[in-house]
Amino acid sequence: MTYLQSNTHDSLAAFQWGDIALSQTVTLEGVPHTTRLAVGEWLEYAVPQKAVDKIIERNPHIENYSVTVNMTATDGKNYLTKVYHPIGFLLIVMESSQAKAKAMKEAVAHFVFHYSEATRKRADMTTSQILAISKTIVSIASQLANTKNAMVYKVLEARLLHLSDLIGDMQPDLSLLTKKPDQLALEV
């Protein structure tokens, strides 16, 4: 999945990744960092920054995932602004009881369970079995890219997803089929 963001190192920009839309982020070393206000807005608090400040006050370890940056505000003045790494964002969300936080906690639990199960499944296979399934996945992906028949496409898609799950690989992004590698660059 790609994310959309356009800013310089000293300006805040909006950030979008899947269902996560944050109003204030800055990219540091290629990683988006967000403000407390943006996290609170995303969590839909009535008073966003104050709510997140309380979460951080009760959980000071979250500060380990923040950095203070010098930002230029709309008034042209420079201000020191604390921004949070994606891990800090997730830790704040995990401490919240807002509806979006509860949904995110469930999604993370499913993600962890999926990959722990995948690791267990993969441990039960031999290397040659994993390689054979991997080759089959590549073959099916090639067939998917070339098929014009919707029914055949759906059957191949189901097989591809099943085999990926079987060896514990992430589900392939089928929207990338037929795209050239140079089309995969992040869009800004």
Q: Residue 146: is its pLDDT beyond 80?
A: yes
| pLDDT reported for residue 188 | 39
| pLDDT reported for residue 184 | 61
* Mean pLDDT taken over the chain: 83
Residue 8 placed within a domain: no
What are the helix (H) ranges across 62-98? 86-95
Number of domains in the chain: 2
**By residue range, what is the domain housing residue 78?**
13-102
Same domain, 85 and 17: yes
Region 99-107 average pLDDT:
90
Q: Got the DSSP string for 91-133?
A: HHHHH--SHHHHHHHHHHHHHHHHHHHHHHHHHTS-HHHHHHH
pLDDT, one tens digit per residue, over 41-98 is 999 999 999 999 999 999 999 999 999 988 777 777 888 889 999 999 999 999 999 9
Phi then psi for 20, rounded to 5 degrees?
A: -95, 115
Same domain, 93 and 54: yes
Q: Residue 2: is its pLDDT beyond 80?
A: no
Residue 37 placed within a domain: yes
- Looking at per-residue confidence, does 27 or 41 come out higher? 41
Q: Which strands form 78-84's sheet, in the order they lie side by side?
A: 13-17, 20-28, 31-35, 78-84, 66-72
Same domain, 91 and 136: no
